[in-house]
Amino acid sequence: MSFLGVEASLTGRRWVGPGVDAERSAELLVQRTGLPQAVCQVLARRGVAPEEAAGFLAPALRDLLPDPRSLQDMEKAAARFLAAVGQRQRIAIFADYDVDGGSSAALLLTWLRQMGHGATLYVPDRIDEGYGPNDEAMAALAAAHDLIVCVDCGTLSHGPVAAAAGADVVILDHHLGGETLPDALAVVNPNRQDEDGTLAHLCAAAVVFLMLVEVGRQLRDTGRKGPDLMAMLDLVALATVADVAPLIGVNRAFVRQGLKVMARRDRVGLAALVDVARMDTAPTAYHLGFLLGPRINAGGRIGQADLGARLLASDDPHEVAALAERLETLNTERRDVEAAVRAAALAQAEARGFDAPLVWASGPGWHPGVVGIVASRLKEASNRPSIVIGIEDGIGKGSGRSVSGIDLGAPIQRLAAEGLLIKGGGHKMAAGLTVAEDKLDLAMTRLGELLAKQGAHLAGPSDLTVSGLLMPGAASVELAEQIEEAGPFGAAAPAPRYVFADMQIHFAKRVGESHLKITFGDGIGARMDAICFGAYDTPLGAALEAHGGARFHLSGRLDINSWRGRQTVQLRLEDAARA
């Protein structure tokens, strides 16, 4: 049964409220723990028992951190890394160009700098070189270095690893592994096919962190001490959220502790980025995913690929100030490029139809740096796995995003094995591919067949899960802070979403190109502000702006808005329905 009878909201979704069992569990938690109702609702939805509540709300890294040696090749990788430092050997770090790759590289560079050792950073150009190691770059690095550490890439790079003759290669990655591994000295990856999957939710930066934990253990065994790893958790938190890793298990502890580290502003690069992003509150997972992450990614998407990693690793205030400003400029440019590609891709995909198991679009000259973001928009619009491909000189480079329950990475790897793709790989929820233009239609048809076997064509519009009703008078900064204590919120751990029923809109104004700001009230005095990002990319914006006095049910998440030192609660509006 739908919540408040909403079967089709303004965005076409059915609203689904908490079940009877969840409500009973929440009540039991209130009685047994004395915690606020809103917090207990979050705990109940996560399946947390009363006796587990304290540990869930204060996740301790010492209790949740896995033994690094549970991952294959870990001891070997740490020993080789430590030997390179001890023998003053030349180290190169080959990193992916996204936030996870940049954070992973920055972890190693920071650790090495504190040990008095330098390293060469190499980040491939997204357009000229593409994702991951390539033969030419690896051969050149091998000629000038003794050890190459590949972070957030390399698991499928058999040829490039073989090209690194004369140097040892260590791979620290989390992307889905193939049936065979490259001939590297060590491949540490929780998503190797011969791993049990227990740590499959880790991002690459978390894998790098675990290696540094193992390095520290080996240092202590010889009576030496390494750098403070807890002070580096800001990087692990940033990568975990930005790479959309599920916030479960140790990932929750990484993010909770990392946010505390970030709030101290010790890392000058992140502090500079926070300032250009005009963040004036303590960082949350939302800030990492939607404010900081896109700016760090901007360098790899449409600018110089290594800007993000350099910003995160540098300890020079003057250098990071310039890098942060450059990334801010690139992020603005990225939005413009993305908007143009998004409009074209949505029109093409809608013409093809949203009912197939795969929604896809391609176009000449579409910038490879924004196709992943646009694929996310297609996925949100269609509730289907989505692929967006930019074509240049007969070669298509694309990125895909999937929906819950549908594995996209494995079918794309299968297409590569079948010869329909030049290369491809990724995770269940995100993947990348390179395809010859003359095989594009055939490859997408085959991918759609494989996704149909998983039931990708059966899903209707996605349901909107809500936690319950709330009145404007009950929404407060204190309540929002209480809810945040049950976080962090993100992938696999959504923040509670409340419904404000039968509301009157007093004010509505378009903000920027596609956002909407409104003030609404219950008709008996209490009023509240709301912001709806991207409202005009859906029917929401136009309907609420031209409300004509109609009343609406409004759904979204509580947020704290800071302005000139004053904090107020606001609704981050996600959906609405006519009352």
pLDDT of residue 356: 92
Give 413-447 as a 3 state SS string. HHHHHCCCCCEEEECCCEEEEEEEHHHHHHHHHHH
The pTM of the full predicted model, rounded to 2 decimals, is 0.92
List C-alpha distances in Å: 331 to 26, 292, 384, 421. Answer: 42, 10, 27, 30
How far apart are the two ends of the chain, measured CA to CA in Å? 17
pLDDT of residue 45: 92
The tens digit of pLDDT for each residue in 482-494 reads: 899 899 999 999 9
The tens digit of pLDDT for each residue in 514-561 reads: 899 999 999 888 999 999 998 987 889 999 999 999 999 999 999 998
pLDDT of residue 130: 86
List C-alpha distances in Å: 374 to 234, 337, 338, 398. Answer: 28, 10, 7, 10
* Interval 209-214 mean pLDDT: 98
* Interval 114-139 mean pLDDT: 95
Of 459 and 575, the structure prediction assigns the larger pLDDT to: 575
Name the 3-class secondary structure at 94.
strand
pLDDT band at 78 (very low <50, low <70, confident <90, very high): very high
pLDDT band at 149 (very low <50, low <70, confident <90, very high): very high
Name the 3-class secondary structure at 260.
helix
Name the 3-class secondary structure at 399.
strand
Please say if the pLDDT value at position 461 is more than 80. Answer: no
Partners of residue 555 on adjacent β-strands? 499, 575
pLDDT band at 280 (very low <50, low <70, confident <90, very high): confident
pLDDT of residue 139: 98
Residue pair 540/556 in contact by the 8 Å Cβ criterion: no
pLDDT of residue 524: 87
Task: Tell me phi and psi for residue 163, to 5 degrees.
Answer: -75, -15
pLDDT, averaged across the chain: 95
pLDDT of residue 513: 81
Please say if the pLDDT value at position 459 is more than 80. Answer: no
The tens digit of pLDDT for each residue in 284-295 reads: 999 999 999 999
pLDDT of residue 514: 86
- Residue whose structure tokens are 């979050």: 42
The tens digit of pLDDT for each residue in 471-484 reads: 999 999 999 998 99
pLDDT of residue 278: 93
Give the residue from 532, 489, 491 showing the smallest Cα distance to 514.
Answer: 532
pLDDT of residue 431: 94
Please say if the pLDDT value at position 463 is more than 90. Answer: no
pLDDT of residue 57: 94
Cis peptide before 50 (omega within 30 of 0): no
What letter would DSSP give residue 57? H
pLDDT of residue 428: 87
pLDDT of residue 523: 87
Cβ count within 10 A of residue 62: 6
**Tokens (6 digits) for 463:** 């349901």
DSSP E strands: which ranges in 226-313? none
Query: How far does CA 559 lie from the centroid of its chain?
Result: 20
pLDDT of residue 539: 87
Residue pair 175/154 in contact by the 8 Å Cβ criterion: no
Q: How far apart are CA 166 and CA 216, in angstroms?
A: 27
